[in-house]
Amino acid sequence: MLGRIVLIVLAALVGCILVLVVVLLAVSPGKPKPAAAGGISEKIRVDINGVPQGMFIRSRDPANPVLLFLHGGPGMPTYFLNRKYPTGLEEQFTVCWWEQRGAGLSYHPDIPAESMTLEQLIADTIAVTNYLRSRFGKDKIYLLGHSWGSYLGIQVAARAPELYHAYVGMAQMAHQIRSENTAYAYMLQEYRKRGDKGMVRKMEKTPITMTGPLPMAYMKLRDPLMHGLGVGTTHDMKSVIAGIFFPVMGFPEYSFREKLNIWRGKAFSRSRLWDPMLTTELAVVVPELKLPVYFCHGVYDYTITYNETKEYFKKLRAPRKGFYTFEQSAHSPAYEEPQRMLRILREDVLAGANRLADAGD
């Protein structure tokens, strides 16, 4: 009798898995959203330094200025967030949502692990920039880096300022190990205030230091800790399962295989790129930029802490600077407060001004 019950349960589980696979295949056509009349909506792969790399290109008008968006992670594209949190960037720009070497559309198991370096990704970013310049007939484009993409982007801007009109850092990284320690202290205090003894115990078992790397046990807690307090990806996102995993798996512009590659690429990229990033102090590596620079940061952001970024901004030398505080945002101002972001891009970044900035020179 027990054996029969086990067989029934197993059959039910297999049936549920098959139904889930069928549903995921049905919602995974892998085709880009149609463009408005006269616009562009493409999902393409381009050979970048010998590796096919994927990108979405969207624009209401192909004559618009070109913006290259560098996603975070490392290895975690965020184009899928546009479904719930539309940025509207394609109204003002021809936007390239490039998925970096080893990530998402650009993941492949044959990519050599030794090629996953900062220097290679800088070279890839410059190659993608030159592809966009050539294709759209632009002498220069705009560069926006988000989170890990800001770590990469600001170093690209320092290396090749002649290719860009301006650099925009959204949740701009500064010295991540210091940011992690600040966030840890803040979250421990907040969970103590809430009386969440279970979470406090877990945190106290996994202390972090300024030396790095971060303990693996803490890394497993990190996303739930941040999202539980509304200081992670967005201020209203309380769970990475509900806010990231399910939206990726339900995103129709990825095929089923591409959805799986999001997670493969994230693990692959992070294993090679996270630790070197963690201990880099960007104020030392990039003390100056030779082009206008704009930082956009949410006050609720503890993935990359607001104060650490603002201190870097004060030290950074550039011909034009602007720092913008987003009062309703955590880690993703363009998704959380899109109208404010678009106004800053339109009235300051495109105009080469900083009239809307909290601080600048």
Q: Is 147 a catalytic residue?
A: yes
Predicted confidence at residue 18, as pLDDT, reads: 37
More confident residue, 17 or 9: 9
Backbone φ and ψ for 121, nearest 5 degrees, come out as: -70, -30
pLDDT of residue 15: 47
The chain-wide mean pLDDT, for the chain, equals: 93
User: pLDDT tens for residues 109-166?
Assistant: 999 999 999 999 999 999 999 999 999 999 999 999 999 999 999 999 999 999 999 9
For residue 33, the model assigns a pLDDT of 87
Residue among 124, 116, 17, 340 at smallest CA distance from 332? 340
Which pLDDT score, from 0 to 100, does residue 27 have? 56
Q: End-to-end CA distance of the chain, in Å?
A: 79
Residue 19 is predicted with a pLDDT of: 38
Do residues 322 and 360 lie in contact, with contact meaning Cβ atoms separated by under 8 Å? yes
Question: What is the reported pLDDT for 25?
Answer: 47
Dist CA 169 CA 70 (whole Å) = 10
Distance CA 304, CA 177 (A): 10
Give the pLDDT band (50/70/90) at residue 29. Answer: confident
Which is the catalytic residue, given 106, 147, 329, 332?
Answer: 147
Q: Within 13 Å and on the Cβ side, how many CA atoms surround 63?
A: 1
Q: Angle at Cα 346 formed by Cα 65 and Cα 167, nearest 5°?
A: 65
pLDDT at 8 over 70: no
Q: Is 348 a catalytic residue?
A: no
pLDDT value, residue 2: 55
Catalytic residue among 301, 329, 332, 348: 301
> Phi and psi for 345 in degrees, rounded to 5?
-65, -40
pTM: 0.92
Structural domains present in the chain = 40-176+248-349 (3.40.50.1820)
Q: What is the mean pLDDT of residues 227-246?
A: 96
124, 235, 331, 348: the active-site residue? 331
Q: What is the pLDDT of residues 55-96, one digit of tens each?
A: 999 999 999 999 999 999 999 999 999 999 999 999 999 999
